[in-house]
Structure 1
C-alpha cells in the first residue's frame, strides 16, 4: 500500500505505469531508450479513497484528469526510468495528500459596533472634504 496520509492509502495495483520515449535533447539514447513514465490512476473507480477525497482530487487534478476519471501524470525530468517512476508516484501522492485535507469551514463574522462607527465617521469625513470642493453657488 502507498501511504497518502490522514490514514489513507492506495493500492499499487490501481496504478498503471507505461514507459515512453522522452521528448527533448538526450543524445544518442533519445530515440532508443524509453525513460519517460506515464502514470495512470483511475480515480473514479478507486476503492481506496472516500468520495469527498475523490471530488477534491478531481478538482485539483484539472486538465490531468481525463473524461473517464483517470489521472494521467507524465514524468520525464530524469534520465532513468526508476527516478522518473519515483517522481511520478511522488507527484500523485502529493496531489492525493493535498486532496485528503478537508477545507476549513468558513466562520461568519459581524463587524463590531466600534468598527461600524469608524466606517460611518470616515464616510461623513470624506463627504465634508468633498463638500469643501464645491462652489458656493452649488450649495
Structure 2
C-alpha cells in the first residue's frame, strides 16, 4: 500500500494533467503468471481506461490490489505526460523548420549555388553532338 503522501502527490499530478476519477473506468482481472495459486485466485490485476482519451493501462506488478491501483494510475499519468511531451516537441520542430525555410540565404550560399549551376551548364554543353553549334 502506498503512503498517504504518495497518494496525495499522485492525486495532485492527476489534477495537473486533467485526469479525473470520474473519467476512469477501472476493472479488476484475475491475475496470472508466477506467484503460485494465490495469484491465480485473486482479482489483483488492475485494468484502467481513461474514457475521454481512450488511453488504457494494465498493472499486475504486485500481489496487492491497492498497490496495483496506485501503480496503474501512475502509469496512466506517465503515458499522458509522454503524449504531451511528444506534441510539444513536434510543435517546436515545426516552428524551427518553418524558421529555417523562410530564412534568407547567405551571399556565400547564393554564390556557391550559381557556380554549381554554371558548372552543370558547361558539362551539359559538352554533351551536345558536334554539329549543333549555336
Query: Which category describes the TM-score, using the shorter chain as reference length?
Result: 0.5 to 0.7
Which of 35, 43, 59 is the equivalent residue of 2:44? Answer: 35
More helix per residue: 1 or 2? 2
CA distances 1:92-132 after superposition (whole Å, capped 9, x unpaired): 1122234445433523333523434334545666x59x89x
Any runs of at least 4 consecutive aligned residues in structure 1 with deviations exceeding 6 A, and if so which?
none
Unaligned runs of 5+ in 2: 1-10
**Relative contact order (alpha carbons < 8 A, sep ≥ 6): 1 or 2 greater?**
1
Partner of 2:80: 96
CA RMSD of aligned residues (A): 3.7
When residues 17 and 2 of structure 1 are mapped into structure 2, their CA distance, relative to the original with a 3 A threshold, is farther
Asked if 1:3 corresponds to 2:28, the answer is no
Contact 1:4 1:96 in 2 (8 A): no
Segments of 5+ residues of structure 1 without an aligned counterpart are: 44-57, 59-64, 66-70
Q: Which residue matches 1:26?
A: 35
CA distance in 1, matches of 2:117, 2:24: 60
